[in-house]
Chain A
């Protein structure tokens, strides 16, 4: 193949010939495995007088740098439609994608392809003004008449490895195979910010393409309106799976926003235990200790030894987010005391928990306003405060980060600097 590399906009519209007889024009390119680092182009779509026909890559003899495309045989079959496959023109050109490296939503102006050892691969997406000018046919014009300006036109290419296509489809109708998504490389809060820039349907499709846990993390960071519309579009079964993975306080807030009927349907799809917990949490007002609390805390028995307790924590810690405070409960879930992870580790292995625990515990009732909960946490320098009912029964905890979220005004949160992570380091470590 004489073709070295170039952009698909330079090939689209060219004549395709078989034995020097023109049969149609190139209209699109099929990529069967778009998740590869630099995916292969598996064939061209040729627009013929009989309609679009598919020419497998093996039948393409030559792609000239200029001029025509030479085929060995006349393509007969219509273009195949596989759910994982992408058509570069129909599915990507002019569409929005997520630039995973730059962490933003951008629009594709052109796609760069390269000839590597006789096969064509997609290497990068052009999202800059240069790509726009090329598409508009102004490239030669610019080069000739305004070379100084043309040279300064910013080039913006995104390596294919960082391109996450967004499928604008209704997730309830399509079964996407959920693989290691490029989007999972983003921090959940960044992912949420990107989802906020997409249309509702695209947002749902993106969430749908993630594994349950990543989807749950991202969903936690979204505003209630967006959460609601995504849940609507996902369908009950998938939505329930994702909500189950969310922190119980966030899950309860989300459920509380929904219509009672939809709430019941979702709870019915979940496992008995999670559903029971959420049913309790949904009852509380959003801006109170009850609404902020999560039931994900670590509790221990008073009459065990330090050694046995450490053993127990080793077992349960992987599933628990917050293990720094250990709450000591009796058989009826009454709160007897609290122990920090630090004091547990520093105590004699043979000591009993009831002897070393702090019995003077600061607690809040379910109806305490969020602001007062935060004030309590701040006053006593806590990482979390337990929530108990009138008789002293432990219901859950409010962690310091949830308390902060509840009292920082939304407008202020918007103006916070965007979190940046040292991604290179992050990758090297993983």
Chain B
């Protein structure tokens, strides 16, 4: 590599790594923890095919961004018309609202760990205060800085994810077991195992990420000639994401699963914060604190990106002024939508007796329904010669991509059906 290409690489990386990390959000951490707590190391092998699927989907959007210079919402509007765009994006906004609420709920679930260090403050006050502080941080960090600074902050967030790696090592897992399970997977045909597998896949590839990564690549101004560097960025990001997931699964497998297996009283986890709490007696206060820091970081990180991305692509599709470098009066729709997502998302977490669980539940259902739709639209766009010229998918890539779409689509629909009708298949 010449100096020039090294410099070029550093000016282009970012979108892939940031998007992939934002995907390890509160829902992701909870799902991975649950997978470790219930099945130990048995589901670790799944991370390998999931990484491939993640690379394939993210790469397509990054490529479309570099070749067309347009965002995904823009391309959908121009190629599928206003009706498809409107209804798809309307559902997306609701899906993203639920996801945003889930992130703030993650902040609330991590709060007790931190509150245990400052017991003078009542728990409810500390929790609500932390959620409001998180929402305010998210809003001001994004609207007051310029994008370059924001991107650097996001990069910083990515590094905090290393907390999970440390906490995964601190719990002293049985490395021999870990690698044995990873290389010689042990399949179980029972329903709980299958559902968990579907959950892991579903949480790793989410529809909104596709919009975000494409816009981020466009914003970077990546040119076709330099696209090879973006591809490295995407692949690196996907690997980093799944390495973090690997350590989250290990952390809860080596502690909660082992404890429950020997168990006198089983530890039940209902949210990601429970995992952090459970680590304290089993792996020490430091591992527990690190896990909670990781959780808080993930929640704030995704809460920064998700509403921003939503407001951006909605405005892009309908031709409103957008972007954080505009003033409020120049881009009122953009800022109103962004603010509404954060305020409502944080609001339902704070207000007692709000339909938080229902909102998160239905947003998961919506995401599952939207993912196959988005993936199909993406595949139609990327194979459009007029749009992509020589950059359409090759045969091999198309085969992998369609297979991913069909498998992911099918699995998410099955899991959704299970969510809605729990009696199915039992």
Binding site for B on A (CB under 8 A): 93-96, 104-107, 109, 127, 132, 135-136, 170, 198-203, 225-226, 228-229, 232, 411, 414
Contacts and interface: CB of A to CB of B under 8 A. Distances in A.
Nearest to B327: A415
Contact of A96 (B68, B223, B319): B319
A202 B318 CA distance: 18
A95 B82 contact: no
A200 B319 contact: no
5 contacts: A95-B78, A109-B82, A136-B83, A136-B86, A198-B69
Contacts of B259: none
Query: Which 7 interchain pairs have the tightest Cβ spacing?
Result: A107-B319, A199-B69, A200-B69, A135-B82, A199-B70, A225-B221, A106-B319
B142 to A, nearest CB: 16
Interface in B46-99: 68-70, 74, 77-78, 81-83, 86
Contacts of A199: 68-70, 74, 218
Contacts of B318: 107, 132
Contacts of B77: 94, 107
A93 B221 CA distance: 26
Nearest to A199: B69
B188 interface: no
Contacts of A95: 78
B262 interface: no
B151 interface: no
Interface string B301-323: 00000000000000000110100
A104 B319 CA distance: 10
Interface string B198-222: 0000000000000000000010010
Interface in B236-285: none
A94 B82 contact: yes
Interface string B157-179: 00000000000000000000000
Given A136-B86, A414-B325, A201 B68 contact: yes
Contacts of A104: 321
A430 B389 CA distance: 43
Given A96-B319, A136-B86, 6 more contacts: A94-B77, A104-B321, A105-B319, A199-B70, A201-B68, A229-B223
Nearest to A136: B86
Interface of B: 68-70, 74, 77-78, 81-83, 86, 146, 218, 221, 223, 225, 318-319, 321, 325, 389
A160 B377 CA distance: 32
B223 A132 contact: no
A322 B3 CA distance: 40
Nearest to B218: A199
Contact of B86 (A93, A106, A132, A226): A132
B83 to A, nearest CB: 6
Contacts of B389: 170
Contact of B223 (A93, A200, A411): A200
Nearest to A198: B69
A203 B221 CA distance: 12
A81 to B, nearest CB: 13
A107 B70 CA distance: 14
A322 B317 CA distance: 45
B319 A136 contact: no
Q: Which interface residue of A95, A199, A203, A232 has the most chain B CB atoms within 10 A?
A: A199
Contact of B221 (A106, A109, A127, A229): A229
Nearest to A410: B146
Contact of B69 (A107, A201, A228): A201
Contacts of B68: 199, 201
Nearest to A109: B82
Contacts of B86: 132, 136
B14 to A, nearest CB: 14
B319 A127 contact: yes
A200 B223 CA distance: 9
A328 to B, nearest CB: 44
A232 B223 contact: yes
A170 B223 CA distance: 14
A226 B221 CA distance: 8
Nearest to B79: A94
A260 B318 CA distance: 41
A200 B82 contact: no
Given A94-B77, A106-B319, A136 B218 contact: no
A132 B89 CA distance: 14
A204 to B, nearest CB: 10
Contacts of B78: 94-95
A200 B321 contact: no
Given A132-B86, A136-B82, A202 B319 contact: no
Given A127-B319, A132-B86, A199-B70, A411 B146 contact: yes
A232 B225 contact: yes
A95 B316 CA distance: 11
A202 B68 CA distance: 9
A199 B81 CA distance: 19
Contacts of A105: 319
A96 B74 CA distance: 9
A414 B325 CA distance: 8
A95 B223 CA distance: 22
B82 A132 contact: yes
Contacts of B82: 94, 109, 132, 135-136
A202 B83 contact: no
Contacts of A201: 68-69
A94 B69 contact: no
A11 to B, nearest CB: 16
A414 B147 CA distance: 13
B324 to A, nearest CB: 11
Nearest to B85: A94
A200 B221 contact: yes
Contacts of A135: 82-83
Nearest to B87: A136
Nearest to A411: B146
Contact of A202 (B69, B81, B146, B325): B69
B40 to A, nearest CB: 49
Contacts of B70: 199
A106 B82 CA distance: 15
A127 to B, nearest CB: 6
A132 B146 CA distance: 32
Contacts of B81: 93-94
Nearest to B82: A135
Nearest to A229: B223
Contacts of B225: 232
A96 B223 CA distance: 21
Nearest to B71: A199
Contacts of A107: 77, 318-319
Nearest to B68: A199
Q: Which interface residue of A94, A96, A105 has the most chain B CB atoms within 10 A?
A: A94
A228 B225 CA distance: 12
Contacts of B74: 199
Contacts of B69: 198-203
A199 B218 CA distance: 8
Nearest to B4: A259
A136 B81 CA distance: 10
A113 B74 CA distance: 26
Contacts of A106: 319
A93 B83 CA distance: 12
Contacts of A232: 223, 225
B81 to A, nearest CB: 6
A203 B69 CA distance: 10
